[in-house]
Amino acid sequence: MTITFRPDETYRDDYTFANSPECIARAPWPFPDDEYMYTMNLEPHVPVGDGALKAVFDIDEHYISECRDRAITLEKDPGMHYVSAPHMMEAQWDLLELIMTSYASDYPQYFTLERNGTRWRWTNNLLNIDDTFTFGDPATLPYEPMEYVTRQAQGDWVLQEERDGTLYWGAGIATQRADYSLRFNLGMAWHEFHGPVPLLKESGMLDRALKFLLRLRNGHPVRRLNWSLTVNPRLDVSAESLPDWAPDRTTVTAENAGEKVYLRIELQPLHRLPRSNAIVFPIRTYMLSLQDIATNPAWAKRMHRVLKTLDQQLVDYKGFTRYRDQAVEWLSQFDPHYNEETENAV
């Protein structure tokens, strides 16, 4: 597959990020129904179609600019955006191998991996990288294995280790966080991290999801979709950078919501790693403005209904209480018969 890249776009300051019509159409749409509630929504991670679900780990036209934005964020606050417990080194090498072999297989025109025993050569034509290193020896890389390979990958990445019948956050790189702290979450167990999500524990879904993931086998990955909203196409909306982006939430009006409000879609393909038995939890983020969504009338109509009917606890948790009404009002133009249909349904 050939991709036309947008290497110079920005995700901060002047915000020159934009989606092509092709990039909009290939995004994974997270809403199967007009109303939304958390579900496990896990399915086998197998190739589907020609869009975001075709490859093991998807890359798109924003690959080069996202990698550059990651480098900027890491340089600014390195200790806040990449962390790893010392005992996670084997899992780091597992992840490096998985990403490199997947990229080289799915995008051979951009990535090449040559292996001669433990002596490996990795070529990334998009970022002008040509490195030879010894697999298993971190001294032969400029960064730790996880940081090295995920600096060349879209999305955030978390390594979870299985211990005492649950999963713990053992390592992660996160420069596209949706209002959480990577360093704070390091070492947290499954129920600790997911505990703040409203209505989740009461449904029993948290326990069911953990049991499912503990049975996850190597070579049988699964995927799920999650979502949130943000203002402006900013990748780093972490807890640490709150003063930089929180004021933007007060700038949304019913008139500018189409260009200001973005749907952040998270594609999460989970893999069990072969040597370490860890689980890698990627969070691949796609951003669509409401104007992007409006190019698909069916999406715009559904988005209106999802946001209008969303439980207020979830609105608060996802962080868009300040501008939910403005977004709903802007989207209402694409759903003119909503009130009539709901009245008839009653």
pTM to 2 decimal places: 0.95
At residue 68, what is the residue type?
R
pLDDT for 196: 75
| Lowest mean pLDDT, pick from 84-88, 103-107, 173-177, 192-196 | 192-196
Calculate the average pLDDT of the chain: 93
pLDDT reading at 199 higher than 90: no
Run of H or E residues at 318:
helix 312-318
Confidence of residue 325 (pLDDT cuts 50, 70, 90): very high
pLDDT reading at 96 higher than 60: yes
More confident position, 78 or 264:
264
pLDDT for 79: 79
Look-up of token digits 């069911």: 208
Greatest mean pLDDT range, 36-50, 74-88, 177-191, 324-338: 324-338
| Lowest mean pLDDT, pick from 170-174, 259-263, 304-308, 341-345 | 341-345
pLDDT for 179: 67
Distance of CA 137 to the CA centre of its chain: 29
Q: What share of the chain is helix, strand, coil (3-state, %, to 5)?
A: 40, 20, 40
pLDDT digits (tens, 9 = 90+) for 282-322: 999 999 999 999 999 999 999 999 999 999 999 999 999 99
Interior/surface letters 17-37, b for 16+ CB within 10 angstroms, e for the rest: bebeeebbebbbbbbeebebe
pLDDT reading at 223 higher than 70: yes
pLDDT for 345: 60
Rg (CA), the chain: 20
Q: What is the mean pLDDT of residues 76-84?
A: 86
pLDDT reading at 114 higher than 60: yes
More confident position, 197 or 268:
268
pLDDT for 200: 66
pLDDT reading at 180 higher than 70: no
| Lowest mean pLDDT, pick from 80-89, 171-180, 323-332 | 171-180
Distance between CA atoms of residues 330 and 168, nearest Å: 41
Confidence of residue 240 (pLDDT cuts 50, 70, 90): confident
Share of the chain above pLDDT 90, in %: 81
At residue 175, what is the residue type?
T
pLDDT for 242: 86
Rounded (5°) CA angle 118-130-116: 20
pLDDT reading at 52 higher than 90: yes
pLDDT for 259: 98
So which residues are the catalytic ones? 224
Task: Answer for the pair 158, 106: CB distance below 8 angstroms, yes or no.
Answer: no
Confidence of residue 193 (pLDDT cuts 50, 70, 90): confident
pLDDT reading at 76 higher than 90: no
Distances (CA, A) of 216 to 33, 91, 280: 27, 16, 11
